[in-house]
Amino acid sequence: MAEVLTANAVITLMYALFALFAGWLALRALDVLGGVDFKTTAWRISSEPLSAAIYFGARFIGVCLLIGQVVS
């Protein structure tokens, strides 16, 4: 029984790692396809804390929702 629980935990961890990698890849793809120079944009956004929090938070939540729908 312990082997089954361990295998299930490892598989769940692999799903989580895949979701994190897919999220990073999706964000990078959005930057490249949109023609966004991320270094310039991030510097401009991070100069104002509220806009930076909204921008980075919305991107992260959006990608997490997308990955959650794809995986489930």
pLDDT tens sequence across 12-38 = 888 878 877 887 888 888 878 888 777
Q: Is 55 within the bounds of a domain?
A: yes
Q: Is 29 within the bounds of a domain?
A: yes
Q: Read off the pTM.
A: 0.55
pLDDT attached to residue 71: 66
Radius of gyration of the chain (CA): 16
Residue 23 structural domain: 19-71
d(CA 41, CA 31): 10
Which position has the token pair 């629980």? 5
Q: In sequence order, which residues have a C-beta less than 8 Å from that of residue 16 and are 6 or more positions away?
A: none
pLDDT attached to residue 52: 79
The total number of structural domains in the chain stands at 1
Mean pLDDT confidence for 35-62: 82
pLDDT attached to residue 16: 78
Q: Is 2 within the bounds of a domain?
A: no
